[in-house]
């Protein structure tokens, strides 16, 4: 069995879990989401407060959402000193609401604002984050969670969001400003030294046999999170917001940047015990959250059932699909000789000077022409191939894709997938959302350094 030690964080000190502030709607129905710098007690103990960039003065920002089918209106106000924009990760929004500066909207300047109107088409766990200078802005804290609840509530005793992040802090607990240094960009990204979980709402205790829904979100810019739970037994019921056709028995959870998992767990620890969430690294674990367990009278319940499906098309065949190769290259130890950047052929030296060291199909950075143009309702298969020495968390905007499995069946709907070194996997989707959409690595260091492309649906 895995050994867990009581060291809460990698750099020492205590992990803290808190609750973000709620957003209140204005008379016109818009929730205000103001981006500004603030001070936050990120690390407890004798550490000073950390200067962060948050929404409405907290990291994570306010929990947004509602009931599936409702409409969400959010007014982003930029009170920073640089441009920003908000992307709704995993939400199948209209293209104009996708929040990508230069592609779907203009970046919001300081003192500017932008009105987002979003239908909660799908139930599930999603998140929002800055999509402008995103490596820096997400590192500083510009993100929050969106929960779209099922129209009939589940029979659970707690419904908790577990927000995971990885901060790179100086000895006085300040975010280091070495964003985008070439070592981070060309290797595994900006890995931090303080892994932190915020549980919202934070329960004071569980009772034995209680049933708990846990919505895990990895908001880290680059860190893959291997997680383990003790004192519970459970099932994974959704990935990246989308319900699984059949719940999977939960063992360990590994979340790449931006990935989510919804789990429903029963508290198996007895009274006097505790439920632990740990970041697991090899045989060692670091406790991120612990909750005591009190006596409970309720008997354990029936097995967990699948959540009701979301209204997204299930792939049934890829026989007539358009196949699109997507080869990821570059990075340290990647053997990339050169690539095209801004229409110019460059050798590796020139690419390094431009800060562009990753490429998709031989192109670093966003090309002028889309990777492909799909007609509405066309089925597309992305044949991804990771020809680099690092894993990549490949994310597609606009809709979810399903892996084409070797036996010809299709995997769960996902919006982000962890492609390990050397892997070759195919992902199919129906191009049912018109507009211009990004595909990029959600290791934001890699995205910054060139691993991104786009496609068009018309």
Binding residues for Cu ion (CB under 5 A)? 392, 441, 443, 446
CB-based contacts of 174, cutoff 8 Å, min separation 6: 48, 50, 51
CB-based contacts of 195, cutoff 8 Å, min separation 6: 9, 10, 164, 165, 166, 167, 223, 225, 279, 286, 288
Shortest reach from residue 52's CB to Cu ion, in Å? 25
Shortest reach from residue 316's CB to Cu ion, in Å? 31
CB-based contacts of 115, cutoff 8 Å, min separation 6: 30, 73, 74, 75, 76
The 10 Å Cβ neighbour count of residue 118 is 24
Shortest reach from residue 443's CB to Cu ion, in Å? 4
Both tokens of residue 38? Answer: 């603030």
Largest separation between any pair of C-alpha atoms in the chain: 69
Per the CB < 8 A criterion, the answer to whether 424 and 328 are in contact is: no
């Amino acid at each position: 069995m895995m050994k867990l030690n009581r060291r809460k964080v990698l750099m020492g000190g205590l992990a803290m879990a808190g609750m973000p502030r709620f957003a209140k709607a204005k008379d016109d129905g818009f929730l205000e989401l103001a981006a500004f710098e603030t001070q936050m007690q990120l690390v407890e103990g004798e550490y000073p407060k950390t200067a962060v960039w948050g929404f409405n003065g907290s990291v994570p920002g306010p929990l947004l959402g509602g009931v599936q089918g409702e409409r969400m209106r959010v007014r982003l106000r930029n009170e920073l000193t640089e441009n920003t924009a908000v992307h709704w990760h995993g939400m199948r929004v209209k293209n104009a609401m996708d929040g990508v500066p230069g592609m779907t909207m203009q970046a919001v300047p300081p003192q500017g604002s932008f009105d987002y109107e979003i239908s909660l088409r799908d139930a599930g766990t999603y998140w929002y984050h800055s999509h402008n200078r995103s490596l820096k802005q997400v590192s500083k804290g510009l993100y929050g969670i969106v929960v779209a609840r099922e129209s009939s509530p589940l029979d659970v005793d707690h419904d908790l969001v577990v927000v995971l992040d990885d901060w790179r802090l100086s000895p006085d607990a300040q975010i280091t400003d070495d964003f985008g240094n070439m070592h981070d960009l060309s290797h595994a990204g900006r890995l931090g030294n303080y892994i932190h979980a915020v549980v919202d709402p934070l329960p004071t205790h569980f009772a034995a046999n209680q049933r708990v829904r846990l919505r895990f979100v990895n908001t880290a810019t680059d860190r893959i999170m291997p997680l383990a739970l003790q004192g519970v037994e459970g099932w994974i019921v959704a990935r990246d917001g989308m319900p699984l056709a059949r719940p999977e028995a939960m063992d360990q959870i590994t979340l790449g940047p931006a990935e989510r998992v919804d789990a429903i767990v029963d508290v198996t620890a007895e009274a006097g015990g505790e439920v632990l969430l740990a970041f697991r690294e090899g045989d060692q674990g670091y406790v991120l959250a612990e909750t005591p367990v009190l006596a409970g009278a309720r008997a354990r319940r029936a097995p967990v059932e699948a959540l009701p499906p979301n209204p997204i098309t299930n792939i049934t065949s890829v026989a007539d699909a358009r196949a699109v190769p997507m080869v990821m290259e570059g990075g340290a130890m990647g053997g990339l000789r050169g690539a095209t950047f801004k229409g110019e052929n460059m050798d590796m030296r020139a690419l390094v000077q431009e800060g562009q060291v990753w490429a998709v199909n031989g192109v670093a950075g966003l090309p002028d022409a889309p990777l492909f143009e799909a007609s509405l309702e066309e089925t597309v298969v992305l044949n991804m191939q990771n020809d680099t020495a690092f894993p990549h968390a490949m994310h597609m905007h606009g809709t979810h894709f399903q892996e084409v499995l070797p036996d010809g069946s299709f995997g769960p709907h996902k919006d982000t997938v962890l492609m390990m070194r050397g892997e070759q996997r195919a992902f199919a989707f129906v191009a049912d959302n018109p507009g211009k959409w990004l595909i990029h690595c959600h290791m934001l260091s890699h995205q910054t350094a060139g691993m991104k492309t786009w496609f068009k649906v018309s």
